[in-house]
Amino acid sequence: MLDLDKILNIIAIVGVIAFAISGALTAMDRKFDVLGVVIIGFTTAVGGGSLRDIIIPERDVFWIVEPIYTYMAILGSVLAVIFHNKIQHLRTTLSLFDTIGLGLYTIIGVQIGIQYDLPGISCVILGAITGTFGGVIRDILVNEVPLVFQKEIYISISLLGGSIYYLIYWYESHGAWVEILGISIIIILRLIVVKFEISFPTLYKNEKE
Amino acid sequence: MLDLDKILNIIAIVGVIAFAISGALTAMDRKFDVLGVVIIGFTTAVGGGSLRDIIIPERDVFWIVEPIYTYMAILGSVLAVIFHNKIQHLRTTLSLFDTIGLGLYTIIGVQIGIQYDLPGISCVILGAITGTFGGVIRDILVNEVPLVFQKEIYISISLLGGSIYYLIYWYESHGAWVEILGISIIIILRLIVVKFEISFPTLYKNEKE
Amino acid sequence: MLDLDKILNIIAIVGVIAFAISGALTAMDRKFDVLGVVIIGFTTAVGGGSLRDIIIPERDVFWIVEPIYTYMAILGSVLAVIFHNKIQHLRTTLSLFDTIGLGLYTIIGVQIGIQYDLPGISCVILGAITGTFGGVIRDILVNEVPLVFQKEIYISISLLGGSIYYLIYWYESHGAWVEILGISIIIILRLIVVKFEISFPTLYKNEKE
């Protein structure tokens, strides 16, 4: 039988590949050359988890000590390069990778915060950092205003999903199914938001172009 | 009676709120939506201290283990959102928050460097990082050339005030009044610079537009 | 006789000065004022090594505990400011500093990874981070797309040279001459690339302007 650690490891690896593909596609949109695409893919894939591990001083940065993550991030980027002509037509399908990565990484981040006995709000923020910071670094590196700050609904889903997961974890039950539930909540919320084009009410009346 | 640690804690909390307001106002100028405003406010408020704590490997990042700072950063940002219509007319008054934050954070940063027995120049740089790096991250996130590099007088006040504090601390005396003096020097220097529009002499003769 | 540690220390100090000059020149091109030039010079010089030391949790950030690096980074920047009129005509000569810095820092980064028993791919990536990340931060701070992502041949030389050094180190021999060899390989590769204007084949046919 699969134990929780094994499940979380598999989930983390799938998340790395998903985010690497998403980062590599962004870099190819900007016409970066092949190594640039791999670097942006790698950075998008490991950036959030790296910042999380840097913030918690007891933790080694995950990909430095477990090279499997580095290989998977490179693999995801290379796959995106090889199949980029076919992938271009699959954009909608591919934003799914981003959504899956968001769900996976958020829950892993909250989970690690819990492991280190951090306060609840810190766990939830660590989850959001793990889930969204790779994308922030990606946007800084390609010199754009990070997408999450323009469509913050993305990061708010991570915060909301992470909070729900944290509450279930403490007040209800532990175990793999709670992780799966948390990840599912985030993925479903994200799909609903995309489907119905939900966004925050603006603070600035009659001022928008 | 208030002891030194308590005073430094209160000072740090006031600084967090002041910087959060300053960051949130910048984000509202760029028409970020509400969560984006809170994130930029939070990042501005905790960014400098976070980089300082990351650089010193023995230290936990302060807001991760003491959630009061997270709550105060969110509170400052939310206050700025709620009162943003009124605050717009109070810009000059509000740049005071930035100035107070600069003084508070610089001295805290130098103080922490001293606590870890670091060399003098490292203490002074840690002070400047604590005092100004939140603003640097804020500007990177909204995709602008960091203000401190265009008006470096801001960061030089932090370096100068931090150096004076360091020298007084070692050669004269310890105690809460030295902190208060250091903070006051920085605030007064900043007000003088703003009042008399002091800036660095340019390196580039007859080349400016 | 010089031992290996002493040689690596001297190499690191030369690298800091070289990178500080290169960073300061970039900042003067953007018409930054004197303190801004020193800050960008300092950041370029210590940025790569700082990120490497932050990623390895056991390591103190090098310039915090050994102020000689801080002084040398400031010295390099100040030299660039003082001689900037003369240096402008020496651009080709000066890109040599960048090349030397790249070689020195890459090998130091790989060497430190080996010291901490990290996996081979992590050592090579740490080398590339040490060698190129200072330049990435520099470009982010002056708000441009990092050069290394447009001319990735620069970073690929670092990765290639670091890999060769790693292999020689494990399968052949240790000792100062291996470091010198690794550094020389990177410098020679870089000079060949610049001389013959080698670049990556583009991924995007018939689409370039």
User: Which of left, alpha, beta for B110 (phi over 0: left; psi -120 to 50: alpha)?
Assistant: alpha
**Looking at residues A190-204, what average pLDDT do you find?**
70
Say how far apart CA A128 and CA A130 lie, in whole Å: 5
Residue C134 falls within a domain, yes or no?
A: yes
pLDDT tier for residue A36 given thresholds of 50, 70 and 90: confident
Q: Which of C15-24, C38-47, C195-204 has the highest mean pLDDT?
A: C38-47
Q: Is the ipTM of this complex over 0.85?
A: no
Which residue on chain A is closest to B53 by alpha carbon? A55
Percent share of chain B, pLDDT over 90: 31
Distance from the C84 Cα atom to the nearest Cα atom in chain B, whole angstroms: 10
Domain range holding B91?
4-196
Q: Is A110 helix (H, G, I), strand (E, B) or coil?
A: helix
Which residue on chain C is closest to A33 by alpha carbon? C202
Residue A186 near residue A103, CB atoms below 8 Å: yes
| Average pLDDT score over chain C | 82
Residue B157 falls within a domain, yes or no?
A: yes
Tell me, yes or no, if the pTM score tops 0.90.
Answer: no
Residue A121 falls within a domain, yes or no?
A: yes
Distance from the A155 Cα atom to the nearest Cα atom in chain B, whole angstroms: 9
Please tell me if residue C61 touches chain B, with a CB cutoff of 8 Å. yes
Question: Residue B152: is its pLDDT beyond 70?
Answer: no
B partners (3+ CB pairs within 8 A) are: A, C
Residue B138 falls within a domain, yes or no?
A: yes
pLDDT of residue C91: 63
Alpha helices in chain B (DSSP H): 4-29, 34-55, 62-65, 67-82, 84-87, 91-115, 120-141, 147-150, 153-171, 176-196
What distances in angstroms separate CA C148 from CA B33, C136, C145, one per listed residue? 33, 7, 9
C partners (3+ CB pairs within 8 A) are: A, B
pLDDT tens per residue, range C107-132:
999 999 999 999 999 999 999 999 98
**B198: Cα separation from own chain's centroid:** 20
pLDDT of residue B94: 61
Please tell me if residue A74 touches chain B, with a CB cutoff of 8 Å. no
Please tell me if residue B60 touches chain A, with a CB cutoff of 8 Å. yes
Question: Residue C174: is its pLDDT beyond 90?
Answer: no
Distance from the C57 Cα atom to the nearest Cα atom in chain B, whole angstroms: 7
Which of A34, A54, A67 comes nearest C203 by C-beta?
Answer: A34
With beta carbons under 8 A apart, name residues in chain A contacting C55: 50, 54, 61, 64
Closest listed residue to residue A46, CA positions, set A78, A26, A68: A68
Say how far apart CA C110 and CA A31 lie, in whole Å: 30
Please tell me if residue C207 touches chain A, with a CB cutoff of 8 Å. yes
Distance from the A104 Cα atom to the nearest Cα atom in chain B, whole angstroms: 21
Domain count, chain B: 1
Please tell me the number of Cα atoms within 13 Å of C150 on its side-chain side: 9
Residue A102 near residue A132, CB atoms below 8 Å: yes
pLDDT of residue B207: 44
Residue B38 falls within a domain, yes or no?
A: yes
pLDDT of residue A198: 67
Q: Is C134 helix (H, G, I), strand (E, B) or coil?
A: helix
Please tell me if residue C122 touches chain A, with a CB cutoff of 8 Å. yes
Residue B207 falls within a domain, yes or no?
A: no
Check residues A49 and C191 and name the one with the higher pLDDT: A49
CB contact under 8 A, B65 and A121: no
**A66: Cα separation from own chain's centroid:** 19
Angle between helices A120-141 and A153-171 (to 10 degrees): 150
| Average pLDDT score over chain B | 82
pLDDT of residue B93: 61
Residue A209 falls within a domain, yes or no?
A: no
With beta carbons under 8 A apart, name residues in chain A contacting B70: 121-122, 125
Q: Which residues contact residue A165 at a Cβ distance below 8 angstroms, ignoring those fewer than 6 apart?
A: A106, A107, A110, A127, A178, A179, A181, A182, A185
Residue B204 falls within a domain, yes or no?
A: no
Say how far apart CA B1 and CA A76 lie, in whole Å: 60
Which residue on chain A is closest to C200 by alpha carbon? A33
Say how far apart CA B175 and CA A46 lie, in whole Å: 44
Residue B156 near residue C35, CB atoms below 8 Å: yes
Distance from the B81 Cα atom to the nearest Cα atom in chain A, whole angstroms: 8
DSSP A74: H
With beta carbons under 8 A apart, name residues in chain B contacting C63: 122
pLDDT tens per residue, range B79-120:
988 887 776 666 666 677 778 888 889 999 999 999 999 999
Which of B52, B53, B152 should we substitute to test contact with C (largest number of C Cβ atoms within 10 Å)?
B152
pLDDT of residue C75: 95
Q: Which of A132-146, A167-181, C64-78 has the highest mean pLDDT?
A: C64-78
Q: Is A144 helix (H, G, I), strand (E, B) or coil?
A: coil
**C23: Cα separation from own chain's centroid:** 11
Which of B57, B126, B153 comes nearest C60 by C-beta?
Answer: B57
Please tell me if residue A31 touches chain C, with a CB cutoff of 8 Å. yes
